[in-house]
């Protein structure tokens, strides 16, 4: 899709301003229902589009994403633009700098349409914990788009952006991608700089592309990846062009499957997965059974380490350094204050009490508990040890296979409100995606068609996980399915 639009631009079949305007028209038409966007940056977008058009009319060459409209998740900083992470605590926060990924896509000439909705601070699986209201699934407005990058997924799915950026800590790119019928990649930990991504759980977080096709994901990855001096965990990628590896040829490649994963599925998802496996066999891949014996501990491991990192990372939102401060209407105990100014401690407490949502508070409390003296060894340290075991499972599996195929989610999109009262049900959404974050490996969700679910036709996706820093083979296998799936 990106390549097609790029060709239209250089052949002067459309201008970037026209293209950008078309997308804003689509947003005005559809986003009232979907609510994918929190902020639109129309003026800046049209200005950038105009610059690209001038370049084209001067006969200058343009890059592959130059002049093409995209959307950015609202936990990624764009200089001088409101960046809320969907939290009331950052309601008034204007980012003073560009995230490295934003700097890179700006250099590449992308047109940024706006910022997209997410679960508050990227905690959730449905975009319902946003302080600014839920995003709806474009296929069925009564259902969630998935989360936490639900706004980014819905924007691409409903043609309100050509591509978008999301972030993924436990599945937040892949799960919404599968619910909305788009491609979503969580790169290897370190493949993409996290500088300017609001830190949630720093040892899991990665930024990645959400697109209509695997080729588009490869194109975006080539632009945003690489070593960044501002992020010590980022790794060099030597200017790799991931799109060059999409040969369509996967004969002899070994694809691992986990029997228990498939057996745990409902009938509809299982049938879909079997079709995907058949397709890969036809394409000449070898399907091998593998074991991930410690994967069953992935969810509890994540839900100890992740809140621990959250409790530390979110300590900075205290009403002093960033964003909102509790105002005088918001007092824990009005009578106690008796007209006196708050103490510093009261400012901290009230600011956090009134401006953070329930899920965020729950994680901060869980994490604080897991890290507290006396419990640290029993919870946090033990979870870190299990994390190593899970990583070792993957090391072993990847001696045998090139990629691992799993479902992305246990079911298609669920209804709005269905899981909000039961955090554990919500956490179970991450069951297939979370291991990739724990091990740090790359993983992509690829659409595999529509399935009949609760009387509706809804998109389904499958997940491929790859070896560390082997996005080229991972995307090659994903792409081979995509280009052959209509046969
Ligand atoms: N659902 C997971 C959580 O709530 C993952 C979120 C994410 O990937 N940002 O933590």
Question: pLDDT tens, 372-419?
Answer: 989 999 999 999 999 999 999 999 999 999 999 999 999 999 999 999
Neighbours of 127 (CB within 10 A): 35
The answer as to whether 419 is a domain residue is: yes
Q: How far is the CA of 83 from the centre of ligand 1 (A)?
A: 19
Q: For the residues 235-244, what does the mean pLDDT come to?
A: 92
The preferred substitution site among 123, 199, 310 for testing ligand 1, maximizing ligand atoms within 8 Å of CB, is 123
Does ligand 1 have an atom closer than 6 angstroms to the CB of 123? Answer: yes
pLDDT of amino acid 327: 76
Spatial neighbors of 400 by CB under 8 A, at least 6 apart, are 254, 256, 288, 290
The answer as to whether 328 is a domain residue is: no
The answer as to whether 334 is a domain residue is: no
Does ligand 1 have an atom closer than 6 angstroms to the CB of 152? Answer: no
Q: What angle do CA 61, 65, 67 make, to 5 degrees?
A: 75
Spatial neighbors of 486 by CB under 8 A, at least 6 apart, are none
Task: Please state, in angstroms and rounded to a whole number, the distance separating the CA atoms of residues 276 and 408.
Answer: 12
Let me know: does 451 contact 193? Beta carbons within 8 Å.
no
Mean pLDDT of the chain: 95
The preferred substitution site among 121, 148, 309, 367 for testing ligand 1, maximizing ligand atoms within 8 Å of CB, is 148
φ/ψ of residue 229, rounded to 5:
-65, -20
pLDDT of amino acid 426: 87
Let me know: does 317 contact 323? Beta carbons within 8 Å.
yes
pLDDT of amino acid 339: 60
pLDDT of amino acid 398: 98
Question: DSSP assignment, residue 90?
Answer: G
Q: Give the model's confidence band at 323: pLDDT under 50 very low, under 70 low, under 90 confident, else very high.
A: confident
Q: For the residues 446-450, what does the mean pLDDT come to?
A: 95
pLDDT of amino acid 338: 58
Does ligand 1 have an atom closer than 6 angstroms to the CB of 120? Answer: no
Closest residue to atom 5 of ligand 1, CA basis: 170
- The proportion of the chain whose per-residue pLDDT surpasses 90, expressed as a percent, equals 89
Q: Identify any residues that bridge with 446 across adjacent strands, giving them in sequence order.
A: 462
The answer as to whether 325 is a domain residue is: no
Per the structure, the complete domain to which residue 366 belongs is given by 1-317+356-487
Q: How far is the CA of 201 from the centre of ligand 1 (A)?
A: 9
Q: What angle do CA 437, 442, 446 make, to 5 degrees?
A: 105
The answer as to whether 254 is a domain residue is: yes
Q: How far is the CA of 305 from the centre of ligand 1 (A)?
A: 12
335, pLDDT greater than 60: no
Please write the tens of the pLDDT for every residue from 180-217.
999 999 999 999 999 999 999 999 999 999 999 999 99
SS (H, E, C) 138-163: CCECCECCCCCCHHHHHHHHCCCCCE
- Which bin fits 54, alpha (ψ -120 to 50), beta or left (φ > 0)? alpha
Number of domains in the chain: 1
Choose the most confident range, by mean pLDDT, from 296-300, 322-326, 327-331: 296-300
Q: Give the model's confidence band at 322: pLDDT under 50 very low, under 70 low, under 90 confident, else very high.
A: confident
The answer as to whether 482 is a domain residue is: yes
Task: Please state, in angstroms and rounded to a whole number, the distance separating the CA atoms of residues 43 and 54.
Answer: 17
331, pLDDT greater than 90: no
Q: How far is the CA of 456 from the centre of ligand 1 (A)?
A: 26
The answer as to whether 129 is a domain residue is: yes
Q: How far is the CA of 125 from the centre of ligand 1 (A)?
A: 6
The answer as to whether 235 is a domain residue is: yes
Ligand 1 atom at minimum distance from 173 CA: 8
Does ligand 1 have an atom closer than 6 angstroms to the CB of 184? Answer: no
Task: Please state, in angstroms and rounded to a whole number, the distance separating the CA atoms of residues 126 and 426.
Answer: 8
Does ligand 1 have an atom closer than 6 angstroms to the CB of 228? Answer: no
Neighbours of 322 (CB within 10 A): 14
pLDDT of amino acid 337: 54
Lowest mean pLDDT among 95-104, 158-167, 368-377: 368-377
Please write the tens of the pLDDT for every residue from 240-295.
999 999 999 999 999 999 999 999 999 999 999 999 999 999 999 999 999 999 99
Q: Give the model's confidence band at 487: pLDDT under 50 very low, under 70 low, under 90 confident, else very high.
A: very low
Q: How far is the CA of 59 from the centre of ligand 1 (A)?
A: 45
Ligand 1 atom at minimum distance from 122 CA: 9
Does ligand 1 have an atom closer than 6 angstroms to the CB of 168? Answer: yes
Ligand 1 atom at minimum distance from 302 CA: 10
Q: Give the model's confidence band at 341: pLDDT under 50 very low, under 70 low, under 90 confident, else very high.
A: low
Ligand 1 atom at minimum distance from 124 CA: 4
340, pLDDT greater than 70: no
φ/ψ of residue 155, rounded to 5:
-60, -45
CATH number of the domain residue 48 falls in:
3.90.1300.10
pLDDT of amino acid 238: 85
Q: How far is the CA of 178 from the centre of ligand 1 (A)?
A: 15
336, pLDDT greater than 80: no
N-term to C-term CA, the chain:
20
Does ligand 1 have an atom closer than 6 angstroms to the CB of 306? Answer: yes
Does ligand 1 have an atom closer than 6 angstroms to the CB of 125? Answer: yes
């Amino acid at each position: 899709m990106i390549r097609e639009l790029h060709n239209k631009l250089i052949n002067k079949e459309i201008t970037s301003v026209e293209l950008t305007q078309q997308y804003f028209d689509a947003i005005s038409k559809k986003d009232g229902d979907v609510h994918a966007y929190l902020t639109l940056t129309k003026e800046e977008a049209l200005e950038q589009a105009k610059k690209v058009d001038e370049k084209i009319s001067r006969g200058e060459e343009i890059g592959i994403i130059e002049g093409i409209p995209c959307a950015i998740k609202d936990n990624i900083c764009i200089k001088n633009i409101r960046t809320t992470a969907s939290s009331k605590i950052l309601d008034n926060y204007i980012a003073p700098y560009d995230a490295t990924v934003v700097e890179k896509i700006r250099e590449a000439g992308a047109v940024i349409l706006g910022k997209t909705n997410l679960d508050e601070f990227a905690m959730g699986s449905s975009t319902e914990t946003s302080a600014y209201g839920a995003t709806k699934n474009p296929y069925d407005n009564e259902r969630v788009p998935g989360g936490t990058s639900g706004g980014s997924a819905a924007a691409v799915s409903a043609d309100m952006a050509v591509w978008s950026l999301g972030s993924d800590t436990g599945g937040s790119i892949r799960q919404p991608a599968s619910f909305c019928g788009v491609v979503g990649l969580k790169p290897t930990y370190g493949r993409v700089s996290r500088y300017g991504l609001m830190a949630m759980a720093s040892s899991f977080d990665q930024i990645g592309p959400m697109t209509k096709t695997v080729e588009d994901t490869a194109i975006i990855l080539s632009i945003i990846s690489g070593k960044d001096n501002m992020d010590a965990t980022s790794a060099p990628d030597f200017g790799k062009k991931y799109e060059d590896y999409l040969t369509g040829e996967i004969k002899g490649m070994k694809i691992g499957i986990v029997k228990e994963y498939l057996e745990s599925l409902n009938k509809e998802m299982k049938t879909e997965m079997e079709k995907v496996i058949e397709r890969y066999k036809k394409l000449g891949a070898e399907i091998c059974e593998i074991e991930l014996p410690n994967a069953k501990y992935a969810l509890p491991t994540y839900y100890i380490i992740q809140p621990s990192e959250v409790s530390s990372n979110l300590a900075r939102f205290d009403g002093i350094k960033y964003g909102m401060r509790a105002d005088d209407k918001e007092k824990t105990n009005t009578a106690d204050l008796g007209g006196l100014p708050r103490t510093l401690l009261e400012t901290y407490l009230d600011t956090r009490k009134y401006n953070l949502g329930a899920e965020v508070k729950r994680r901060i409390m869980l994490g604080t508990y897991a890290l507290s003296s006396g419990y640290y060894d029993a919870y946090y340290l033990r979870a870190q040890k299990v994390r190593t075991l899970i990583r070792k499972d993957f090391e072993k599996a990847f001696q045998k296979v090139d990629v691992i195929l799993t479902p992305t989610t246990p079911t298609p999109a669920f209804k709005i409100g269905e899981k909000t009262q039961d955090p554990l049900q919500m956490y179970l959404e991450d069951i297939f995606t979370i291991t990739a974050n724990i091990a740090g490996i790359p993983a992509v969700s690829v659409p595999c068609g529509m399935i009949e679910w609760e009387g509706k036709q809804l998109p389904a996706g499958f997940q491929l996980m790859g070896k560390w820093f082997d996005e080229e083979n991972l995307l090659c296998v994903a792409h081979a399915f995509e280009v052959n799936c209509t046969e």
